[in-house]
Chains A and B, each alone.
Chain A
Amino acid sequence: MENIIEISGLHFSYPADDGKEAAEVLKGIDLTIKEGEFVAVLGHNGSGKSTLAKHINAILLPTEGKVVVGGIDTADEARIFELRQCAGMVFQNPDNQIVSSVVEEDVAFALENLGVPYEEMRRRVDDALKAVNMYDYRQHSPSQLSGGQKQRIAIAGIIAMQPRCIILDEPTAMLDPQGRKEVMATIRRMNREQGITIVLITHYMDEAAQCDRVVVMDKGTIALDDTPREVFSHVERVMEIGLDVPQVTELAWELRKAGCDIPQDIITEQECVEAIQKLFAQNKAISR
């Protein structure tokens, strides 16, 4: 598989404000993401994960180092719209990224900006709305929708551009559990069915556990980068960074500490249930 995102030696500091010194937020990031991957970026507040995301579609430009997305250097100003079409971005607050008072017009916003002709625009807007299961709401006003629905509209607005990669910056942080489920299911479907590369920035461990790969950031560097199973098996290291592991992983870890014979790499509820049942069955066999 081709690399879609190549980040090498990325350093970034926000410019010095008067009175305040320039703070270096990213301190040397090397990261490559392959086409079609589903990557979660985890990190504590202020670990630089959002800053990193903003480098992928050139909202911020590196102070030092290089970011190449889909073969385009983000510093190349002439190709900035091509780049943003290739890598779309969804933000945390669904209200603050919806531009129009009519759902379908909001989804069309990017296409209108790119000057896509009407017939093609119509088709792409309808396809995008169907892909996020919001087609029936196309004439609604965003203010009539729930948070999860609004966030799906925002995702549809990005999908309509037919990007190869979508970066989502804590898209579920402001949603209720139902909305989170809807949005996560939509993201996973985009990845599986359309092969769109997903970079999901989150602080929910159970969401990260659903990804192919987890990148853990700490103080502007990459601390861990592996499959969720591997990353979360380092319970102590993850906690040291100030993050949690999924609840079931923590449960398994506590049980191990208490002397139970239970695998360390549990990340889903199903696995946990099975492991505990197995444990009970063994105990029964022994006590007989």
Chain B
Amino acid sequence: MLRDVTIGQYFPGNSLIHRLDPRFKIVITLIYILMLFTGSNVVCLAVGAVYTLIAIYLSRIPLKMFWKSVKPLLPFLLITALLNILLVDSGDVVFKWKFLKITTGGINISVFMIIRIVLLIMGSSLLTYTTSPITLTDAIERLLSPLKLLKFPVHELAMMMSIALRFVPTLIEETDKIMSAQKARGAEIDTGSFMTRAKNMISILVPLFISSFRRADELATAMECRCYNGGEGRTRLRQLKAAPRDVVALIITIMFYAAAIAVSIVYKQLTK
């Protein structure tokens, strides 16, 4: 059934990672990404991998969920790895056949890149797996709130995002109904050539758009009735309070970052 689709990839739970303040989680993820990209050797990535595995273990989310998020990107990863292997020309030659030449440098770089991207995907999936979309929106609103001084419509943006999230299941249900209704009238949605199917999609999209406009109109009236007046002077039911554990998590992340840099400096000197 269409309506069973979950929004985002949120995995409800109550682990330590789930309970972290979403604002801190976003900042920590940003530091983590920085860590992966400043490190330029394998040892540095090893530190990143240890960090990722600890975090995943703490989140109590099965590892195969992370495999699921990596899998769709696999072809892309393999193609780039292949190009790196074939095109990078440094270090010792391992294999040579006509114009093809594989070097140790090329192998190193492609392995390194695959690990980096896999870690990147796993880390950012951990954020979306442990934080509900609505909390994420809320955290983004608060993190961006300094931009209000520059007249950037932070509240409006966050309100738009949360309303969009709110209406995803409603519109999925509606699409489902319209599809059934059109099928009952003889529309061919699942069969025929690509072009016919694309054409038949119009019979679903048009009613869906019309009804979305009507919904938007009614929602706007309902919001006005409940005294909605923009972001000015609003208070919030959802309180975000940083706990000591958030600060500890942040410090640990920074320590890992520092460790990654230190280890890679030492490694460089050793391999000189």
A93 to chain B, nearest CB (A): 6
B271 near A: Cβ within 8 Å?
Answer: no
Which chain A residues (69-123) contact chain B, with CB distance < 8 Å? 81, 84-85, 88-89, 91, 93, 95-102, 104-105, 108-118, 121-122
Of all chain A residues, the one with the shortest Cβ separation from B225 is A89
B218 lies within 8 A of A143 (CB)? no
A101-B218 contact given A111-B235, A113-B234, A118-B237, CB 8 Å threshold: no
A105 lies within 8 A of B238 (CB)? yes
Which A residues are in CB contact (< 8 Å) with B238? 105
A111-B165 contact given A84-B226, A101-B134, CB 8 Å threshold: no
Interface SS of chain B: helix, strand, loop or mixed? helix
B142 to chain A, nearest CB (A): 14
A99 lies within 8 A of B234 (CB)? no
A59 lies within 8 A of B225 (CB)? yes
| Docked pose: A53 CA to B133 CA in angstroms | 36
- Which of A112, A115, A117, A118 has the most CB atoms of chain B within a 10 A radius of its CB? A112
A91-B134 contact given A110-B227, A115-B234, A161-B226, CB 8 Å threshold: no
- Which of A99, A102, A108 has the most CB atoms of chain B within a 10 A radius of its CB? A99
A228 near B: Cβ within 8 Å?
Answer: no
A164 to chain B, nearest CB (A): 15
B191 to chain A, nearest CB (A): 30
Which chain B residues (13-49) contact chain A, with CB distance < 8 Å? none
Of all chain A residues, the one with the shortest Cβ separation from B238 is A105
| Docked pose: A227 CA to B237 CA in angstroms | 42
Count, chain B residues at interface, CB 8 A = 30
B244 to chain A, nearest CB (A): 21
Which B residues are in CB contact (< 8 Å) with A84? 224-227
B229 lies within 8 A of A81 (CB)? yes
Which B residues are in CB contact (< 8 Å) with A115? 233-235
B237 lies within 8 A of A113 (CB)? no
Of all chain A residues, the one with the shortest Cβ separation from B135 is A102
B162 near A: Cβ within 8 Å?
Answer: yes
A158 near B: Cβ within 8 Å?
Answer: yes
A96 lies within 8 A of B215 (CB)? yes
B50 near A: Cβ within 8 Å?
Answer: no
B162 lies within 8 A of A101 (CB)? yes
A112-B237 contact given A101-B166, A161-B226, CB 8 Å threshold: yes
Which B residues are in CB contact (< 8 Å) with A155? none
Which B residues are in CB contact (< 8 Å) with A47? none
A113-B218 contact given A100-B134, A100-B162, A105-B238, CB 8 Å threshold: no
A118 lies within 8 A of B235 (CB)? yes
A100-B235 contact given A84-B226, A91-B222, A158-B226, CB 8 Å threshold: no
B221 lies within 8 A of A59 (CB)? yes
A63 near B: Cβ within 8 Å?
Answer: no
A199 to chain B, nearest CB (A): 14
A113 lies within 8 A of B226 (CB)? yes
B219 lies within 8 A of A99 (CB)? yes
Which B residues are in CB contact (< 8 Å) with A91? 218, 221-222
A171 to chain B, nearest CB (A): 12
B218 lies within 8 A of A121 (CB)? no
14 contacts between A and B (CB under 8 A): A57-B225, A59-B221, A88-B225, A89-B222, A96-B219, A98-B166, A99-B223, A105-B237, A113-B228, A113-B234, A115-B235, A118-B235, A143-B173, A161-B226
Q: A96-B222, A115-B235, A143-B169 are in contact. List 9 more A-B contacts (CB 8 A).
A: A57-B225, A89-B222, A91-B218, A99-B219, A105-B238, A111-B235, A113-B234, A115-B233, A121-B235
Residues on A close to B: CB < 8 A? 57, 59, 81, 84-85, 88-89, 91, 93, 95-102, 104-105, 108-118, 121-122, 125, 141-143, 154, 157-158, 161
Residues on B close to A: CB < 8 A? 3, 133-134, 162-163, 165-166, 169-170, 173, 214-215, 218-219, 221-229, 233-239
Question: Sorted from nearest, which 10 A-B pairs have the closest CB atoms?
Answer: A97-B222, A143-B169, A108-B237, A110-B226, A96-B218, A113-B227, A115-B233, A89-B225, A101-B166, A81-B227
